[in-house]
Amino acid sequence: MMLSHWARDTLPSVFVTVHLFDLELWQVLTLPVMLLASYLVARVASKLFTRVALRLSVLTTAKWDDLLVENLASPLRLFFTGVFALLLLPTLDAHTRAMATLTEILRITMLVAGFWAVLRAVDIGHESLRTSLWVKARPATLPVFALVRRILKIAIFVLGVVTVLQQLGYPIAGILAGLGVGGLAVALAAQKTLENLLGSVMLSIDQPFRVGDTVLVDGTLGTVESIGLRSTQIRTAARTLVTIPNGKLADSKIENLAPRERLQLVFTLGLNYATTRAQLEAIIDGVRALLADHPHTFKDGIFVHLRDLGDSALVLEVNTWFTLPDDVDFREVKQGVLLGALAIVAAQGATLAYPTRTIVSAKAA
C-alpha cells in the first residue's frame, strides 16, 4: 500500500516500532484522520442522497415519504461513514488481527445505522397513522397505536442487540432460549393484561361506542367517561364510576343509546266511566292535536286510541316519537305533554278514574 510504504520509509522509526492494540503508532494516529475524512465524505453523500430523494418524494401527495427521507439523514450519514471507512481501511496495511477487529467494528457501526433507520421508520409510520383520517375518526385507537409503536421499537432494539452480539461471536442460541423462556413466563403472567389489551384493540376497531355515549352493558347504564388500554369507565346516573375490563367488554352485549335519532313516549289515560262519548272523542282529538302541534314530534308516528275498557276506567293509550336524542330535553318535553293532556281532560269536564270497588251485600241483593 502506498500510504503504508510512505509511512514506514519516511517517518521516524518510533512511529513504526511503537505498537498499540496491534497497530503501529502511525496507524493509530492515521485512524482518526481516516474516520474524519470518511465522515466528511459521508456527510456530503448523505446530503446529495437526501436532496435527490426529497425531489422524488415531492412527486407524491403523501407526506410520510418526505418525513422518512428527512429523518433518515442521520442514520444514513452513519452508514455511509462506515462504508467509506471500510473502503479506506486497507490503506493502513495493519496486522491481520487488527484489520479483523477494525472491520468488525465498522460492520457493527453499519448494523447500528440500519437498526437506527428502522426505529426512525417506525416513528414515521406511527406519526402518519396518528394524523390519518381513519384514526381521527377513531380517536380511541391512539393509545393502541402508541403501545404497538413501543412494542415494535423494543422488539427492534432487542433484535439489534442480539444481532450485534452474534456479530461479536457470543452464543446467540443460549440468549434466544433464555429470551424465549422469559417471554413465555411473562406471557403467562400477563394473560389477563393481554386479553384486556386485545379487547381494547377490538373496541377501537369496531367502535361500538365513544367517550360521552350513553350505553347499557350487563345491566349497567351510564355515560362512557374514558376508554383505556386495560379497562373502560362508565359514569352511572347515581354518579358512581363502574370500571369494566376491556376483555370482558369486548364479549358483552353493548347497547349504545347515543345513536338514537328519536325517543318514544308511551303513556295511558284512565278516564272515569262517567265520561261521555263526545267527551272521549274530544279528548282523543285534543291530545292528537297537542302532539301534532309540538315542534319535536315525529308526525307520522302519533297514535291516540281507546285501548281498553278496564275494570274501573276507559283506558286511552298515547304512543308517539320525539326527535330528541337527549334524555334531559326529553324529560322536559314529556312533562309538558302530560300536563297538556291533563288540561285537555279537565277542559272537557272529564275526570281521571281511580281504582274503585263496590261491595254488594247478600241482604241487599
| Domain covering 208-256 assigned CATH 2.30.30.60 in the classification | yes
Q: Are 82 and 31 in contact (CB under 8 A)?
A: no
pLDDT of residue 150: 82
Closest by alpha carbon to 148, among 181, 126, 163?
A: 126
Q: Where are the domains of the chain?
A: 2-189, 208-256, 263-347
b/e burial code for range 36-63 (CB count within 10 A of at least 16 → b):
eebbebbeebbeebbeebeeebeeeeee
pTM of the model: 0.54
Q: Phi and psi dihedrals of 362, rounded to 5?
A: -70, -35
Closest by alpha carbon to 214, among 322, 325, 297, 138?
A: 325
CATH number of the structural domain 263-347:
3.30.70.100
Cell of 308: 281498553
pLDDT in tens, the chain (365 residues): 566 766 676 777 777 766 677 777 777 888 888 899 999 999 999 889 888 888 887 777 777 777 888 888 889 999 999 999 888 888 887 777 888 888 888 899 999 999 999 998 888 888 888 777 777 776 666 767 777 788 888 888 888 888 888 877 777 666 666 666 555 555 554 566 667 777 777 777 777 888 888 889 888 888 898 887 778 899 988 889 898 888 888 888 888 887 777 888 999 999 999 999 999 999 999 999 999 999 888 888 899 999 999 888 999 999 999 887 666 678 888 999 999 999 999 999 999 988 766 565 555 44
b/e burial code for range 170-184 (CB count within 10 A of at least 16 → b):
eeeeeeeeeeeeeee
